[in-house]
Amino acid sequence: MQNITQSWFVQGMIKATTDAWLKGWDERNGGNLTLRLDDADIAPYHDNFHQQPRYIPLSQPMPLLANTPFIVTGSGKFFRNVQLDPAANLGIVKVDSDGAGYHILWGLTNEAVPTSELPAHFLSHCERIKATNGKDRVIMHCHATNLIALTYVLENDTAVFTRNCGKAAPSVWWYSRMALAFCRGWCPARTKSARRPHKRCKNIRWCCGPSTASSAADRRWMKPSV
């Protein structure tokens, strides 16, 4: 039996969450991360799955994600602990055939559940699937300290942020050619409050708020060549 904790996607989540913790971007249980998978990714690990997967309905159906698996961080979980106990802090979920809910196939032990911001992640995944024909697979919410600092010294405006980041570090243009976007007065969480930022994901890769940033693409997550 293959051990799912050695899979590329679990190891990738461990790497990403550890990196974010070390950067100071995800204090305590701040931040969350989701990665869209394919059935082929999880097929070798069925023996690791829960015998009776829990089912959780979505507050808003998302048919575009029907039958799609994801690996996600858990609600109230600390990024610093993912490397210590992946099964307790991560979970693999699969959206049902109607897009009305999902089963927890692996992880999230002791009745844990996915991040409370899963609706925002799923809505953003839908936008990036349409915008990139499925190429982008990652949504990351973090508290990027340098960007937070900039909110206190720059005008909180999309054009101002994009221009100044590009002037300070020209390589920003290489990784964020579709610019940054600033969302005012928004507290991310469940479906209702997720609708505002997810619309920005049609045209941008980073969305910056007073204390949050979310990415719809990360080169670290490109699947390994076969």
Q: What values do phi and psi take at 43, rounded to 5?
A: -55, -40
Centre a 10 Å sphere on the Cβ of residue 189 and count the other Cβ atoms it contains.
14
Closest of 9, 26, 200, 162 to residue 93, by C-alpha: 9
- Count Cβ neighbours within 10 Å for each residue of 201-216 and write b for 16 or more, e otherwise: beebbbbbbbebbbbb
User: What's the DSSP call for residue 5?
Assistant: G
Q: Which residues are catalytic?
A: 117
Is the distance from CB of 77 to CB of 123 less than 8 angstroms? no
d(CA 71, CA 183): 26
- The angle at the Cα of 29, spanning 24 to 33, to the nearest 5 degrees, equals 80
d(CA 45, CA 162): 42
Residue identified by tokens 């508290």 is: 143
